[in-house]
Structures are given as structure tokens and as C-alpha cells.
Structure 1
Amino acid sequence: MTALVFAGVALLSLAIWLYLLLAHGRYWLADQYLPARANALGAQDRAWPDVVAIVPARDEADMLPLTLPTLLGQDYPGKLTVVLVDDASSDGTSEVAEKLSAAHPGRALHIVHSGGPPPGWAGKVAAMRRGFEASEASAPSAPQYVLFTDADIAHPADGVWRLVAFGEARELDLVSLMARLRTETAAERAIVPAFVYSFAQLYPFARVNRPNSRTAAAAGGCMLVRRNALIQAGGLEQIAGARIDDVALGTLLKRRGGRGRTWLGLTADVHSVRPYPRFSDLWDMIARSAYTQLRYSPYLLAGTLLGLLIMYAVPPVVGLAFLGIALAGGGTPAAVTAGAALAAWALLSLSYLPTLRLYRLRGWRAPLLPAVMMLYGAMTFDSARRYHRGSGGRWKGRVEES
């Protein structure tokens, strides 16, 4: 009976991986990219729409010198205004921004201050709204596009140009890029690509980009939003309490009366400069919001952990164990169990290779994905533990109610 159970679980794992590779939105191919500037759609001599870039910033004095100049130095041919929202910082964020602005007199920078989120609002969403309201009040005419971007995100000089050209050509309400995260330390190289891979598995980009699909998401570091679409969807008030604001905004815009068109892609030149030098830093980053993704449900938590075990632990553990049994004369049942589990391991490793190539990492890391995903399971469990202890919403010294 025990042998049959292991055989059944191994075959289940193989079936799951066959489905994921063949029928789950091609999530693993990592093939959704903006066209290069030379091939971007949109005429050079067109009337370019006005854009406001909104940067929520809380204690980001160290990040801004590496990122804010990339916005202020954009070669966008239309009008581009940058609004930085100082969200009750205590490290001189505004002063740093003012000095950086002085070095780029050709680009308008407005600094607005926030005393923190009002009741019922998540901190980042409240700062986004504060910046949006400031941009509406300060300009003689409202911009056609709003670029929500994080304080740790650096953009290429033609970044806004390409986003707008793509959005205009495809008549999109949202163009979002998953910024390339740092992989400079050993911990970052081990954890970060798996994070991107898991996000794409949960929200297959090709499905997000199909208008008739219900799959919706965005990546919070870079979200170009058509202003009228945001207003027609009810504004940021509709996602006021969302701590995973990017997915919430992508869902809001895509499902606005069945008319929304959104696009989510990968990029090699929009990147985060925020370092995660220690494994504990990455653990905290993931554990801070993993349970939120599960809607604080212990049942979803249990299902997620069980799913991770079947998908990632069973292939190497059962495969190697029953391979040894088969080689020792265990017969056909052991060979079938080992073959199914090892085939699942091979498939999951194959699926991870495009993400590793995106981050210029060697393929030998692919078979180690199960170990990384077991760590993700532990981080998710820790996220639930923190939530039930009342410390799950802490971010940069601020505890946000869930």
C-alpha cells in the first residue's frame, strides 16, 4: 500500500508538471518583452501625451541618488513631470530629492509630503493617491498617463518613450514591467530568480496580456496607467487597503466593465537597485506579504504548502529514493515510481532555465529549484506566523493593519 501511495504521488507530480509546461500560459518561457526602441511602435513626429511619474518614497535617501536622476534625465519628447511623495520619512528623503533636482533643471520635480496613510489605506497606495491628487492640482491640464514607479527603480533614458509608444500603439490601459532585481550576492542569486519564476507561474504573463483572459496582475516597480481608465475604474480608492497593490491595480484596470486592456512583461534595463545582501533580508521581504497573497486563509496556506511538497519535494526525494530501490531489485513498481518522479524533476528544471538565462545565471542551478521552493514554503509559513502574532504588516518601522 505504501508503495502505491508513493507511485500515485509521483504520477500526480508528473501530471502537474506536464500541465504547467504544456497548458499554463507558457509562463516558463519568459518571452514577454517590450520591443526595442528601434522597433517600438509609434511615429517620431507624433504629438506625445503628457506623463506624470509618481514616486512613493519612505526613508529612501540612500536609493534616490541611484534612481531619481534616471527619471529626471529621460529623453521623452513630450511633457514629463516627476512627483515624489515623501511618506513621513525620517532620513532626509526630501532634502536628497531637492539636491538631485537642482542637477536636472530641465525636468520639473514636485515634492509633496504625506503624514502616513489614513485609516483603511495601505501606506503605498495612500502615497500613490497623494501623488496623483498633487499632479491633478498642479498642472493646467491633466496628464494622459501616470507612471507609478518605486524609489528603488532605475530606468533607461528611453524608458518612458518606449512605455508610452507601446501603450499608445496597442491602446492599453496599463503597461507594466517587472523590474530586474539584483543578483549580486549569493543569497540574491539563489532566491531572486525563483521569486520571478513563481510570480510568472502564479500570473502567466501571456494570459495577463490576453484581453479575454481573467488573469490579471502588474509589477509595482513600473506601471504606466492611462489616467482616464483609472478614473473610470473608480480610482485608487477601489484598492485603498491593498498591500499587494500591483496585482490589485492590474485586476482593477483589466476588469473595468470588461473593457480593460493590460500588458505585463519582463525587462533587462529597468532594474531595482535595492540590495538584499543577507539571506535574512530576502526572507523578511518575502515573509512580509506572502500570507497576504493567500488572503490570510489557513486553508489556502495548508493547500499551498501541500502543493509545494507535491510539486517540488516529491520529484527529487521520491525519485532518488525509488531509483535506489529499483537498482537494488525493487522491480517494476519501484522503477515506475522513480521514473515518474525523476521525469517531473527534469521538467521542472527545464522550466526554470529561461528565468536563469534572464538573470545570466548558469543552468546547473535549475535542478536546485526544489530546495529553493522549500525555503519559499518556510517563508510563507513564517509569514502566517507573523500575521497571527500581530507583526506581519511591519514595513520600514510602520505597522499596517491587515
Structure 2
Amino acid sequence: MSVLTWTSWLSLAAWLWLLLAHGGFWRTDVRLPPPDPAGDGARAGADGEPWPPVAIVVPARDEAAVLPLTLPSLLAQRYPGPAEVVLVDDGSSDGTGEVARTLAASAPGALPLTVCSPGPPPPGWTGKLWAVRHGVAVARSRRAATYLLLTDADIAHPPDSLHALVRAARDGGLDLVSLMARLRVATGWERLVVPAFVYFFAQLYPFSRVNRPGGRTAAAAGGCMLLRADAADRAGLPGSVRGAVIDDVAVGRAVKRGGGRVWLGLAGEVASVRPYEGLAPLWAMVARSAYAQLRHSRSLLAVTVAGLLLVYVAPPATALAGHAVGWAAWALMTLSYLPAVRYHRVPWWVVLTLPAVAVLYLLMTVDSAVRHHRGAGAAWKGRTYAGT
């Protein structure tokens, strides 16, 4: 057989394995269970215990532009137990702390807000994790919180978000409940790139495998993580992952290694409001951590490039060259992407762009490696990290 024929059969075999034996990565129905319509959201849990105290920790660096869209949603949480918000102003130069205080002052009856600043991170710490460490310490100095909600400054929450997260953790005996927030899909580039970002993440970390007790696969989504405080202590968090560039996945792994139960799913209404105008900021978002995902290994980079070409480029290439097997592989690829496109509520024809978008991600990953080997590392808001 010719090289093209072999390639078409290999790509088809890869897609059959992905769809049948890779944890149902393409599914988008892994969501928090809905509340019991017969239940009373304000009453104590089934065991008669009151709803546990929660500290909401928000690391924020130069987030004054998005806070008016997100912080009020946290301050307005309808949670039947005690809760407070700690916003950690991580060396901002745009008045982030003052914006937060103003928003809290204009929201009487809201959850209490504390704004604090940890100072520059010491060597070996990323700025975000240093900010999280400080925020958790401040919250714990006043109240022994049972749960910590770690959420990014660009994430907006529906009013019952905290209640739903704690309910899921209590009912399921979970130590970490994490939601992958809906990313914005308003611009043309966002519609093309964002659905693939979630699709590829789920391919790396199939949610069903992450959620399997005792399974080896572990991950989390950093925009929204509800963590039991005692599980954080057992895992040594955040100090045990202090230098991690992909901190959410590192947190998930640390909790599982510590014997904790982890759950990861897609959000319904928890959403990121951060705009990505044009390709450049989306490119930077991916390139910042792509090579860290490969453990800065040139061998893994080569395998990844070959794999992306075989899985995403070979099917349309061999199909257009006249190989029926290539058409079959391309059809399976397209069908696997359709749930992600529907989840993000973008036009159906976006499914046809997956091969081109995969090449784009391949280039972003190579660029991430080039930056690392040039000493640029992972850059974010004026800081650069070697990362792990």
C-alpha cells in the first residue's frame, strides 16, 4: 500500500480509539447535578448540619476593567451558610483594589469583602499561587472555613453558584469540585479558537477519567475550584505546587495524590468575561503554558506535532487525495467536535474548521517551545516564569 493509504488507515484507527476508548472526551454533558426541586435551598444538609463556612479567594492583577462585571456576582451569592470574599490585589498598577472596594461599598447587604496585598512573590512562586496563599491565610485568620472557592477575577457567577458547588461537594463526598467556565465567544477568532481549547483540554484530561475515584488522571479548571480546606492541608496546597504554570492541573493532581476525590465538569452559567480581541491574545493564552504541558520535553514536542498531524491533518488530506478511509476518519473527527461547537453556541460550520484550528494550535505549541528555549518562559502580565 502507498504511504497515503497507510496514513489514512492509521488516522482512522486513531479516531476509532479516541471515540471508543478514550473516556468519552467529546461529551459535554458532564455538569453539576441540578438542585432537588422538592428541597429547600436554605435548610441544612440531610445530616442536620448547617451549611459550612466558605472563603472565596480571588487573585487579581490589573483586573480593574473586568471587576465591575464579575465581583458583584460574587458579592451577591445566595448561600445559606457563612461566606466572605477575599480579593488579593497582586501588585496591580490600574487601581484594582480601589475598584473592588468601591464595588463593595455600593452593594449593601452583600457578602463581606476584604482587599489585601501579599507583596511581590518570592523566588520559586508564581504570582497567582502566592496571591492565593496570602488570601487563604487572611481568610483563615478570621474564620475556620470548611471550603475554599478559588476563582479568577474574570469569572462571573450566577447567584446560586456557590450553593450549587458546596451542595455537589457535600452530596458527593468530594474534596475538589471544579467547573470549566464558559469562555467568551463574541469575536470571529474567539468562535474559531475557544471551542477547540475546551475540546483539546478534554482530550488531554477526559472528565470521566478525572472523576473516577482512584483513577490516575487528575485535573481541574483554575477559573472555578471549590476545595475542602482539610484536603488542601493534606496536599500541602498551594505550597506544594508553588511554581506550577498550569496551576489548576497541578492542584487536581495534588488533591488526588493526597487521597482526595476530584470532580471536573463543564459550567452552565459560570462564565469568563475576559475579551480576546484578535488572534494575538488567544495565541498568547495558549503559548504561555503549552510547552509546560509537555514538561519542556523536545521528545514530547516531536510526538505531539506528529500526533496532531496524523489525527487532524491526515484525514482531510487523504480524503481530498481520493482515499475513502480518509473521508471516514474526517467524518468521525467532525462528529466528535460537534458537541463542543453546540456547547459554545457558535455556528455549526465551525466544526469544519477543526483541521485548520488544530494546525494553529500546533504552531502555538511550537512557539511556546521556542520561547522557552530562548529564555522567555511563560509570560503573564509583566512576569515571566520558567514554570513546571
Q: TM-score, normalised by structure 2?
A: 0.96
Matched AA of 2:123: P
Report the Cα distance in structure 2 between the residues aligned to 1:169 and 1:355, rounded to whole angstroms: 28
Change (3 A) 1:26 1:40: farther
Q: Which runs of 5+ in 2 are unaligned?
A: 45-49
How far off its partner does 1:40 sit? 9.8
Summarize deviations over 1:202-250 as a string: whole Å, max 9, x none.
0000111110311100000000000001101222111011110000001
Cα distance in structure 2, aligned partners of 1:96 and 1:53: 18
Task: Specify the alignment match of 2:64 in structure 1.
Answer: 61
Name stretches of at least 5 consecutive residues in structure 1 with no aligned partner: 324-337
* Rounded Cα–Cα distance in structure 2 between residues aligned with 1:193 and 1:365: 9
Structure 1 residues 310 and 400, CA gap change in structure 2 (3 angstroms): same
Within 5 Å, give how 1:178-189 maps onto structure 2: 178-189=180-191
Q: Which runs of 4+ in 1 moved over 6 A?
A: 40-43
Tell whether 2:93 aligns with 1:90: yes
Larger helix percent: 1
Alignment match, 2:104: 101
Answer whether contact 2:41 2:80 (CA < 8 A) is retained: no
Offset at 1:161?
Answer: 0.4
1:156 to 2:158 alignment: yes
Structure 2 match to 1:174: 176
2:72 touches 2:103 (CA, 8 Å); kept in 1?
yes
The amino acid that maps onto 2:326 is A
Name the counterpart of 1:331. none
> Normalising by the residue count of structure 1, what TM-score does the alignment of the two structures yield?
0.92
C-alpha distance in structure 1 between counterparts of 2:41 and 2:170, whole Å: 10
Between 1:120-129 and 1:49-58, the stretch displaced more is 120-129
Does structure 1 retain, via aligned residues, the 8 Å contact 2:87–2:114? yes
- Is the CA contact 2:372–2:386 (under 8 Å) kept in the aligned structure 1? no
Q: CA deviation at 1:267?
A: 1.3
Query: Does the alignment pair 1:339 with 2:324?
Result: yes
In the other structure, the counterpart of 2:340 is 355
Query: What number of residue pairs does the alignment pair up?
Result: 381
Is 1:76 matched up with 2:79?
yes
| CA apart distance, 1:105 | 3.4
Partners of 1:369 and 1:100 lie apart in 2 by: 41
* CA offsets 1:300-331 (integer angstroms, 9 cap, x no match): 1111001000001100011111x1xxxxxxxx
Contact 2:126 2:242 in 1 (8 A): yes
User: Partner of 1:335 in structure 2?
Assistant: none
Partner letter of residue 70 of structure 2? T
Letter in 1 for 2:85: V
Q: Deviations over 1:92-138 (max 9, x none)?
A: 0000011011022332111110222111111111111111111111x
Match of residue 144, structure 2, among 142, 145, 150: 142
Q: Does the Cα contact within 8 Å between 1:42 and 1:166 map onto a contact in 2?
A: no
Aligned to 1:368: 353
Distance 1:221 1:123, change over 3 A: same
Letter in 2 for 1:33: R
- Residue equivalent to 1:272: 272
Query: Percent identical across equivalent pairs?
Result: 55
State the alpha-carbon separation in 1 of the partners of residues 35 and 107 from structure 2: 24
Give the corresponding residue for 1:307: 307
